[in-house]
Amino acid sequence: MVRNVIFGCEGQSLTADEKAFFSDTNPWGFILFRRNCETAEQTRILCTELRTLLGRNVPILIDHEGGRVSRLSPHIVPKRVAMGEIGELAEKAGLDKAEEAARIAGEILGRDSRLVGCNVNCAPMIDVRQPGAHDIVGDRAFSEDPEIVAKLGRALADGLFAGGCLPIAKHIPGHGRAMCDSHLDLPRVCEAGEGLDSTDFAPFRALNDIPLGMTAHIVYEAVDPDQPATLSSKVIDDIIRGQIGFDGLLMTDDLSMKALTGSFTERAEGSLKAGCDLVLHCNGDMAEMVAVAIGCGPLSAEAARRSEKALSQLREPSAIDMAKLEERFASLMEPSTLS
């Protein structure tokens, strides 16, 4: 029985307690962070250990967006550009050139992830950056223009597929207006529904066929003034599944973020009851994971269908000259292009 949860682990190899716990709970997938990734070889061994333990090609996620969000240190792969730089390319050199750069960036990020054994990347981030909002989004977002965000998000996702990774559209239905960091506090957005639909929701609607999505821990007062999207059946049913039309496998953002309150069991139960297919817990804390597991269970029939559809889209990356790929990307992004 595969459970509707994704867990992190504590270190660079599994402890005896983790082996027993993961074997017993059989999570849908795992997520790795910098603490788990010392070298490429060590990380590949960890991924193999996780898959061998569960006896299947379990999805293993990594946050490898480029820019300031990458769980792979520079001695594993070179530092990759922030998506905001590709958005600048669209504005200064044209959307066609930026789309090519985004597709190549996605393929590079996907191949980086596969190098260490991961097959799901927590990108593209298709939040629409808003002036004056908290910089938790900032240059992680492509642009303030929803059309540019949608076009470049699609290109990045196509590149991730080519690089052998499933993409995750985040943070649905939009994090760009947050005035505080949801890792530390609960953002509230008071924009009217029409403004949200034409701006924040638009890229997610354009990419509603992406196989995986991650919720935003944000209250949208025009939709549900009481609960953040992750815990709101109204946001999930009416907006994410309805207005946006997303029918992919929907996971929460990290349950340990301080935007959420209540016990970890309550957070897991509330997210799943609201309509999330999977819950995500990242920090590897065993006591918290045990509490999360209590609130979880087997995949629902709909979640199992969405999972099967998503995982069927995984493919091996083709043989390629990585140096030439990186050279082409650098030529697109060279300073003279942005002058």
- What does the pLDDT look like over 49-71, one tens digit per residue? 999 999 999 999 999 999 999 99
> By the 8 A CB rule, do 142 and 148 touch?
yes
Are residues 122 and 170 in contact, defined by beta-carbon separation less than 8 angstroms? yes
Which one of the listed residues 112, 253, 254, 277 is annotated catalytic? 253
pLDDT digits (tens, 9 = 90+) for 6-41: 999 999 999 999 999 999 999 999 999 999 999 999
- Could you give the angle at the alpha carbon of 123 between the alpha carbons of 118 and 126, nearest 5°? 175
> pLDDT (tens digit, 9 = 90+) per residue, 238-271?
999 999 999 999 999 999 998 999 999 999 999 9
The pLDDT, as a whole number, for residue 190 is: 87
Interval 139-160: pLDDT, tens = 999 999 999 999 999 999 999 9
Q: What is the mean pLDDT of residues 307-315?
A: 97
Quick check: is 321 catalytic?
A: no
Could you write out the three-class secondary structure of 232-297?
A: CHHHHHHHHHHHCCCCCEEEEEECCCCCCCCCHHHHHHHHHHHCCCEEEECCCCHHHHHHHHHCCC
Average pLDDT, the chain: 94
Domains of the chain: 3-338 (3.20.20.300)
Q: pLDDT for 286-299, tens place per residue?
A: 999 999 999 999 99
Q: Which of 17, 183, 209, 237 is catalytic?
A: 183
Burial annotation 3-40 (CB, 10 A radius, 16+ → b, else e)? bbbbbbbbeeebeeebeebbeebbbbbbbbeeebbbeb
Report strand pairing: 64-66 vs 69-70: antiparallel
User: Is 127 one of the catalytic residues?
Assistant: no
Reported pTM: 0.95
